[in-house]
Amino acid sequence: MNDFIIEGHGLKRYYQRGNETVKALDGVDVSIRKGEIVSILGPSGSGKTTLINLLSGLDAPTEGTLVIDGKSAAGLSEDELVEVRRGVLGFVFQNFSLLPTLTVTENIELPLLFLGLQADPERTRRVIDAVGLTDRANHLPRELSGGQMQRVAIARALIIEPKILVADEPTGNLDRATGESIIALFKKLAKEDGLAILLTTHNTVFGSQADRAITLEDGRIVALNGPPNKLPLH
22 neighbors 13 (Cβ within 8 angstroms): no
Cα distance between residue 104 and residue 226, in whole Å: 36
CATH for 33-61+70-228 is 3.40.50.300
172: Cα within 13 Å, side-chain hemisphere: 13
Alpha helices in the chain (DSSP H): 48-55, 78-85, 104-114, 121-130, 146-158, 176-193, 204-207
- Per-residue pLDDT of 9-59, as tens digits, reads 999 999 888 899 989 999 999 999 999 999 998 888 888 889 999 999 999
- Per-residue pLDDT of 169-182, as tens digits, reads 877 777 788 788 88
Domain segments of the chain: what residues?
33-61+70-228
How much is the pTM?
0.86
